[in-house]
Amino acid sequence: MKFLTDCSLGMLAKWLRIMGFDTLFYEGSADRSLLTKAGREGRVVLTRKRDMAQRQFSGQMMILVSDRVENQLKEVIDGFSLEPASWHPFSRCLRCNQVLIGIEKDKVKDRVPPYTFESQDCFMTCPGCRGIFWPGTHRERAEKWIRLHIQTDRP
Ligand SMILES: [Zn+2]
């Protein structure tokens, strides 16, 4: 399942990426060209603009009601029955939405801080921005956040 959010849902887009969902962020407010892009790329439109429901659109669209990102995430997860098995947390670059790929440790020696190189064994890289990523405190924080806000009230 792929998503396209309008410009008011930047935080939601980031969290969907953290959970591994292919999510693009549309730099403008929801309009006809957003729908065209979503239709062309087979993406589900996520927006908070209620009048978007009246637009003619053959694809899928969800009008979110909540203004808090954790509730918006729940609306999406429940609305599309996105089971935890379909989540792939931290598999995608938060900056450019590309799927991260593994990279051998000896290839990142000059590209990460020495302490990180010594203390980590698994590194990933992004084919888009060429960034190097590793499991760190940010990941732990994010996993905790997901558990706290999303998983606990699921059956
Ligand atoms: Zn990237």
**How far is the centre of ligand 1, averaged over its atoms, from the C-alpha of 132 (Å)?**
9
How far apart are the CA of 43 and the centre of ligand 1, in A? 20
Query: pLDDT of 19-62, one tens digit each?
Result: 999 999 998 877 899 999 999 999 999 999 999 989 989 999 99
Query: Taking each helix axis from N to C terminus, what angle separates 69-79 and 10-18, rounded to the nearest 10 degrees?
Result: 60
User: What one-character DSSP code corresponds to residue 24?
Assistant: E
CA distances from 82 to 23, 60, 71, 76, 151 (A): 14, 15, 14, 8, 12
The burial class, CB within 10 Å (0-12 / 13-18 / 19+), for 77 is buried
Fold of 3-86: Rossmann fold (3.40.50)
CA of 99 to the centre of ligand 1 (A): 8
Q: What share of the chain has pLDDT > 70, as a percent? A: 96
Dist CA 66 CA 55 (whole Å): 21
Cα 15 to ligand 1 centre (Å):
15
Ligand 1 midpoint to CA 14 (Å): 13
Domain boundaries, the chain: 3-86, 101-151
Q: Is the pLDDT of residue 151 over 90?
A: no
3 state SS of 5: strand
Angle (nearest 5°) at CA 21 between 19 and 23? 120
